[in-house]
Amino acid sequence: MTDDRTAIVTGGGAGIGRAIAHHLARQGADVVIADLDGARAEEAAAGIAAEGGRARAHAVDITDEAAVAALVEAAGPIGRLVNNAGIFDVKPFDALTDDDFRRMYEVNLVAMVRLCRLAAPRMAPGGSIVNIASRAMLGAKQYIHYATSKAAVAGFTRSLALELAPRGITVNAVAPGVIETDMLRARSDTDLGALRAMQPGGTLGTPEDIAAAVAFLGAPEARFITGQVLLVDGGRSLGGSLGI
């Protein structure tokens, strides 16, 4: 499958977002790598160019409405939108404040809603939106504010799918489980050995595992799939509600 339309990937400078950007570029997309860290976005775009793909870097704070509008304007006609950017921190419920919830929702949900609202009018029939949720939406300890924001992403995805279906635009989400990234390794509660032991197959996921799922849901072959939240967690969700 080749898709030569523009694909915006937020948080595309590193980790899962970077893997998604590379995967879509290999499929033929002209990728716009949007990231808060402009240097990181430039580096990711250069890596795609070195592989023979097409990519542009765009430094943007997704909570800044004017900056997001400029991103969408610069992108031109949009074929795919991947809402990957987000924040995470570990904090027990008793220590959480109202502002902790507001900050998590502002980045993980409200910014996503805003970008979808601005991008959808620039998408033709056949366009796709894929949001990154999390298996944490099933319930998680020590980061309830994050888990609830990702549960909201799932609800938003299903609702937006109904709104955009008449326009021929699909909207789906991928909910990663434990994916071995630099962000995971840096977490204060990370024990990779323990996390592997909880996986049915004894292994953790990779950013490329998520990229493949995102690419499939945005491809023409998936045109009859919309409003779905695909758990990509190696089967961990089958064994209990501990999320990540």
pLDDT tens by residue, 61-102:
999 999 999 999 999 999 999 999 999 999 999 999 999 999
Q: What is the mean pLDDT of the chain?
A: 91
Q: What pLDDT, on the 0 to 100 scale, is given for residue 235?
A: 74
pLDDT of residue 177: 85
Tens of pLDDT, residue by residue over 102-120, are 999 999 999 999 999 999 9
Per-residue pLDDT at 57: 98
Percent of the residues in the chain that have a pLDDT greater than 70, as a whole number: 87
Pairing mode, if any, of strands 78-83 and 170-176?
Answer: unpaired
Does residue 107 contact residue 85 with C-beta atoms inside 8 Å?
Answer: yes
Given the residues 146, 181, 218, 244, the one annotated as active site: 146
47 and 22 Cβ atoms separated by less than 8 Å: yes
Q: pTM, whole model, 2 decimals?
A: 0.91
**pLDDT interval class at 134 (50, 70, 90):** very high
- Which residues are bridge partners to 6 per DSSP? 30, 78
Has residue 240 got a pLDDT over 70? no
Question: Could you report the per-residue pLDDT of 33-57, keeping only the tens digit for each?
Answer: 999 999 999 999 999 999 999 999 9
Q: With beta carbons less than 8 A apart as the criterion, state whether 178 and 215 touch.
A: no
Average the pLDDT over 14-23 and give the result: 97
Catalytic residue list contains 143: no
| Nearest-5° Cα angle at 75, 225 to 165 | 25
Q: For each of the domains in the chain, give its residue range(s) and CATH number, in order of start.
A: 6-177+206-232 (3.40.50.720)
Segment 167-204, tens digit of pLDDT: 999 999 999 988 776 666 566 566 666 666 676 766 77
